Structures are given as C-alpha cells and as structure tokens.
Amino acid sequence: MAPFIALAVVTALARLIGWLTDLAWLDSWPRAVAVGLAAMFTLTASAHFAEPRRSALIAMVPPSLPNAPALVALTGVLELAGAVGLLIPATAPVAAACLFVLLLVMFPANVRAARADLGIKTMPLPARTVLQGLFLAACGLVVLG
C-alpha cells in the first residue's frame, strides 16, 4: 500500500505545485503523475537493496530463474533508472514505457508469491492485481502524455 500512497500523495502535491506556481512542467496531469511514479519507484527500488525486504523479494523469484539475488538487484537498478528518466521531460515517456514493461514482467513473481505465501505479503492477490492495473495505467498516462 505504501507505493500507492507515495504515488497518490506525490502526484497530488506535484499537480498542486503546478497550479500554484509558474512551473510549466508540472502544469499537467501526465507530468504530475510522472513525478508521483518517480517517487513510487524510488520507494519500491529501496526494497531491492535493504533488508528485510530484499530477502523477501529474493524468495519471490521463481526457482526456474537463475541467480535470484542478482535479478532482484537488477530490477531495483532498473526501477531507479526509470525513476530518474521519469523526471526528465524528454525521456519521461520512454521511461514510463519501460517501467510499464518491467511491471508486467515482474507481476508473475507477485502471483507466485501470493499463491505460495512467500515474500512480501502486503495484500491479497485480487487487490494486488487491481493496484498493479492502476500502476500500469499511470505509466500509460505518462507515455501518452
């Protein structure tokens, strides 16, 4: 739930700043959402490197994939790179598209974890699926911006 809260609060604050100031870059919903997504992905990336969440994420990686610790680190780096890309107007749509794909690629690990009662247990799978759809829609909004 923390990623959703980060996305919602930072998006709302970014949009409010856009309305109240002369910051033209924040004067649209897609750009405010890009800032919110950057905050969200920075937050989620931190779990890839800090215990105890790192171990929980490693446990979620399907056993058929090699070197789970390296994959968790790689996806954390990709999330951080995407967060930075979202904050650069010229790269925000490409970063959002890449993060969209990353969310799709990582979702099976969430399904596996929910079914096997592994890893980070924040919410039941149906709620997690709806939330994942919201994250994908936010990325899509930035892409189409």
Residues 56-91 have pLDDT tens digits of 999 989 889 999 999 999 999 999 999 999 999 999
pLDDT in tens, 27-43: 899 999 999 999 999 99
The pTM of this model reads: 0.94
How many secondary structure helices (H) and strands (E) does the chain include? 6, 0
pLDDT in tens, 109-125: 888 888 887 767 667 88
| pLDDT recorded at residue 134 | 98
What are the CA-CA distances from residue 39 to residues 67, 69, 119 (Å)?
Answer: 28, 24, 23
| pLDDT recorded at residue 121 | 66
Percent of the chain with pLDDT over 70: 97
